[in-house]
């Protein structure tokens, strides 16, 4: 079983900075704003053939009021309980605080292996790092995350605690990013797959400010779900940290195989939903529409919402799952659709088949003139996958109107039965040799 190492400490001592330096990523958002890490972030830390799970926890205690503090502390306790090694991070600049003493007391009672990391040693303090000896932890290390000082030594110390050749991560069948506006139930959906509440769930919009990776096993396959920050209207995105969270949400989608686009059954298909979905379309990953909180709907309401989705041109090619994270209903249907859409994104399409469908499309509807020009498509072939890209060659193809392009796209999707797949069409005009 893979070993677990957790970074623990009060807020704003630099846990996320150390996490990012160790994992060589920006998975944890770093800021001077206290309490930014609310959910546990997990990443793999490797040393040759050995590997551990590194967890960045939300800070114990905050100097400001935070509606999530009780849940954050519970998660930090759980991280300590499940860890094989705890890295207790303190702030040399601030010195020992009453909160540090409280956390030290908790850690001593846990009987876990503790490594005390004294961060920000690049800043001189009145008491100096020796003051932390009073916390009672024998194994200590002086670090500066902002200057990358002794970060490699932390990694060395971590792997000294464990035997060589630790188990590496399991094969991931597919990576799935969950996207939607705040409070539609993204974290609740992932938690419904698990036996624990790894992600904080609340009725307050904006609880998730980072993209969180969670591995879920279902029927012998391992799925990696990415919970993202809710995307609010631009006018409501005020703090720079939240703007960065939104950027990272879509960056996470670009690095994923599939998208679960979540809608709220009781706050359904608003302008903001369509704005987010248009961004999802532009990225082009295979997509499943998930209507959460469906336990609140009657059969007639479910039928009505299904019709509303079918009447939206940009949504109609994507499968819809009515789901309840609260009641855990619809799990089998959801995973069946995930499997089906993922297979559709990998479908191999021969040039012969694409050109056969093109001939049928041209027979069904000829390309209209554009002024004195009549575009002519000679052949088509496949380019990239996920999104599938079809490249058309011919004459005056830049004159093809948007309505005919939409006809071609819908014709291919219908004939190929590629539900949940985005399709991009590219038109390349041959040079006229007589010009």
Which residues make Cβ contacts (< 8 Å) with residue 109, sequence separation at least 6? none
23 pLDDT band (50/70/90 cuts)? confident
Of 251 and 226, the one with more pLDDT: 226
DSSP 8-state assignment for residue 386: T
Provide the pLDDT for residue 180.
87
Provide the pLDDT for residue 78.
67
* SS3 at position 60: strand
Provide the pLDDT for residue 288.
97
Provide the pLDDT for residue 110.
83
Cα 36 from Cα 29, distance rounded (Å): 7
User: Which percentage of the chain shows pLDDT scores above 70?
Assistant: 79
50 pLDDT band (50/70/90 cuts)? confident
The domain spans of the chain are 3-160, 174-345, 351-429
Residue 412 has pLDDT above 60, yes or no: yes
CB 325 within 8 A of CB 192: yes
357 pLDDT band (50/70/90 cuts)? very high
pLDDT tens sequence across 128-141 = 899 999 999 999 99
CB 44 within 8 A of CB 50: no
Provide the pLDDT for residue 206.
39
CATH T-level topology, domain 351-429:
GMP Synthetase; Chain A, domain 3 (3.30.300)
CATH 3.30.70.1230 fits 174-345, yes or no: no
66 pLDDT band (50/70/90 cuts)? very low
Q: What is the pTM of this model?
A: 0.60
Ranges 44-58, 168-182, 225-239, most confident: 44-58
Which residues make Cβ contacts (< 8 Å) with residue 211, sequence separation at least 6? 27, 177, 226, 227, 228, 229, 245, 248, 249, 251, 252
286 pLDDT band (50/70/90 cuts)? very high
Residue 32 has pLDDT above 50, yes or no: no
Quickly list H helices, 239-270: 240-254
Residue 407 has pLDDT above 80, yes or no: yes
Cα 202 from Cα 179, distance rounded (Å): 17
Which residues make Cβ contacts (< 8 Å) with residue 409, sequence separation at least 6? 423, 425
Provide the pLDDT for residue 40.
59
pLDDT tens sequence across 199-241 = 333 333 333 344 567 888 888 888 888 877 645 444 443 444 3
| DSSP code per residue over 168-208 | PPPPPSEEEEEE-STTSSHHHHHHHHSSS--S---SSTT--
Domain 3-160, CATH:
3.40.50.300
Cα 236 from Cα 160, distance rounded (Å): 47
Q: Which residues pair with 159 in a beta bridge?
A: none
Averaged pLDDT for residues 319-326: 94
35 pLDDT band (50/70/90 cuts)? very low
**Average model confidence (pLDDT) across the chain:** 81
Residue 375 has pLDDT above 90, yes or no: yes
DSSP 8-state assignment for residue 295: G
pLDDT tens sequence across 68-91 = 455 556 666 767 777 899 999 999
Fold match flag (3-160 vs 174-345): yes
Of 30 and 111, the one with more pLDDT: 111
């Amino acid at each position: 079983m893979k070993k677990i190492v957790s970074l623990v400490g009060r807020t704003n001592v630099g846990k996320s900075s150390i996490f990012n330096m160790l994992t060589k990523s920006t998975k944890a958002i770093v800021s001077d704003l206290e309490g930014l890490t609310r959910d546990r972030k997990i990443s793999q830390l490797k040393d040759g053939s050995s590997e551990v799970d590194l967890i960045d926890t939300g800070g114990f205690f905050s100097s400001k009021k935070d509606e999530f503090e009780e849940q954050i502390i519970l998660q930090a306790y759980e991280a300590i309980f499940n860890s094989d090694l705890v890295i207790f991070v303190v702030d040399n600049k601030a010195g020992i605080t009453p909160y540090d003493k409280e956390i030290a007391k908790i850690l001593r009672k846990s009987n876990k292996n503790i490594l005390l990391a004294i961060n920000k040693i690049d800043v001189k303090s009145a008491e100096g790092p020796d003051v932390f000896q009073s916390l009672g932890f024998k194994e200590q290390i002086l670090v500066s995350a902002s200057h990358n000082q002794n970060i490699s030594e932390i990694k060395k110390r971590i792997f000294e605690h464990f035997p060589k050749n630790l188990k590496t991560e399991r094969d991931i069948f597919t990576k799935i990013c969950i996207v939607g506006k705040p409070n539609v139930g993204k974290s609740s959906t992932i938690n419904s797959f698990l036996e624990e509440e790894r992600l904080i769930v609340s009725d307050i919009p904006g609880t998730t400010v980072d993209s969180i990776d969670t591995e879920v096993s279902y029927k012998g396959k391992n799925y990696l779900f990415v919970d993202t920050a809710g995307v609010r209207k631009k006018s409501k995105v005020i703090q720079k940290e939240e703007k960065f969270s939104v950027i990272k949400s879509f960056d996470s989608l670009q690095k994923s195989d599939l998208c679960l686009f979540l809608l709220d059954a009781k706050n359904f298909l608003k302008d903001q939903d369509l704005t987010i979905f248009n961004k999802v379309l532009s990225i082009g990953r295979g997509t499943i529409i998930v209507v959460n909180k469906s336990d609140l709907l009657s059969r007639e309401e479910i039928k009505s919402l299904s019709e509303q989705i079918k009447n939206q041109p940009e949504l109609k090619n994507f499968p819809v799952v009515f789901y309840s994270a609260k009641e855990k209903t619809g799990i089998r249907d959801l995973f069946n659709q995930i499997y089906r859409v993922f297979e559709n994104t990998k479908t191999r399409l021969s040039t012969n088949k694409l050109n056969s469908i093109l001939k049928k499309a041209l027979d069904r509807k000829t390309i209209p003139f554009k002024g004195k020009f009549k575009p002519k498509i000679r052949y088509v072939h496949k380019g990239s996958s996920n999104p599938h890209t079809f490249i058309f060659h011919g004459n005056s193809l830049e004159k093809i109107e948007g309505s005919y392009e939409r006809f071609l796209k819908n014709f291919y999707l219908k004939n190929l039965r590629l539900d949940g797949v985005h399709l991009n069409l590219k038109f390349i005009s041959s040079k006229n040799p007589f010009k």
